[in-house]
Structure 1
Amino acid sequence: MIYEAQPEDIDEFYELWCLLLDLHQPHHAVFRFKPGSEQALKAELLHRLKDKSTRVFVYQDADTWAGMLVASLRPGSAGFKLSSKGYIGETVVRAGYRGKGIGKELFEAARKWLSDRGADHLELQVSVQNPKAIRFWESLGFTPSTQHMVLPLQEPGNSRKN
């Protein structure tokens, strides 16, 4: 069953969000978080749960959060033909639930919510080292438009001294 997560669901949201990041740890430093940062990360996630332009869609099977998808409406420049962006953020389905259509159900719930609020296109980022996820999003009609690139300016986890 799909539902919209609420602020009181922060612990479940955080657990599934960490699962997603754990799956991406080997892909790039941008997916790594600092040890002992649970409180700061939960605060950021709680902000998303309270943001009126964001929804966290959850697939719940009994008491288990089997999957989730974060969707946000991000207005763009009126000068562009596509000016109201629906953004698909963190998306994950637990291993034992994959291949059952849960990801597609989560996407369809997000697409409807974003479309109902005026989004004229959807965007997302997907790890270039995750071919299964790339194929999943392509199967839903997504195509590449740009390549997101990252250049760390210091070693991850180190702070710059002045």
Structure 2
Amino acid sequence: MNFRKATKDDVQAIVRLLADDELGEKRENYKNPLPNEYYDAFADIEAQNGNQVLLVVDNQTVIGCLQLTIIPGLAQLGMKRAQIEGVRVDKSYRGKGIGEALFQEAIRIAKEAKCRIVQLSTDKQRKDAHRFYERFGFVASHEGMKLHL
């Protein structure tokens, strides 16, 4: 099991993971070939400093991913924060510590970037994910709001 930053060649595998659950199958458009919007979005991620998709790879197979964005800010004496999104582990690898190792690596990167907080949002329907995040010490300290455009 290795960690590495995703490349354009990994986009198909990432979208496969994103689409492989009850919410993702409704939100994503996983097919071959993938819609160009996924490649355009990945190019935007690569172009933005402090933004990456972190992968877990086993024998050259992508088995987990998350997007990690380092966000500089002015509030709280210029505090940097790390935002985690799009966390997925391949169904056949769940329960083997892959997600835990992926989070430990993301937190290590956040500390290295001198972030003072790691934040994430999670769908209210993902009860198992909530328990997973709480094991790391994440606390539902704020009420999130979204405006879909």
Unaligned runs of 5+ in 1: 154-162
Deviation at 1:48, TM superposition (A): 1.3
TM-score, length-scaled by structure 2: 0.83
Is 1:58–1:69's contact at 8 Å kept on the other side of the alignment? yes
TM-score, length-scaled by structure 1: 0.77
Is 1:74–1:86's contact at 8 Å kept on the other side of the alignment? yes
Query: What secondary structure sits across from 1:148 in the alignment?
Result: coil
Structure-2 residue corresponding to 1:139: 135
Q: Does 1:122 align with 2:107?
A: no
* Stretch deviating more after TM superposition (45-54 or 132-141): 45-54
Q: Does 1:94 align with 2:94?
A: no
Residues 32-56 of structure 1: per-residue CA shift (max 9 Å, x gap):
3579982123311232134331121
Query: What secondary structure sits across from 2:140 in the alignment?
Result: coil
Q: Does 1:69 align with 2:70?
A: no
Which one of 21, 36, 40 corresponds to residue 37 of structure 2? Answer: 40
Which one of 26, 43, 49 corresponds to residue 52 of structure 1? Answer: 49
Is 1:14–1:45's contact at 8 Å kept on the other side of the alignment? no
Query: What secondary structure sits across from 1:80 in the alignment?
Result: helix
Which amino acid is the alignment partner of residue 7 of structure 1? K
Unaligned runs of 5+ in 2: none
Residues 10-61 of structure 1: per-residue CA shift (max 9 Å, x gap):
2222332333xx53258xxxx7357998212331123213433112111112
Which amino acid is the alignment partner of residue 40 of structure 1? E
Structure-2 residue corresponding to 1:84: 80
- 1:86 and 1:130 mapped to 2: Cα distance? 21
Residues 67-88 of structure 1: per-residue CA shift (max 9 Å, x gap):
11111100122x3268211111
Alignment: residue pair count = 146
Query: What secondary structure sits across from 1:3 in the alignment?
Result: strand
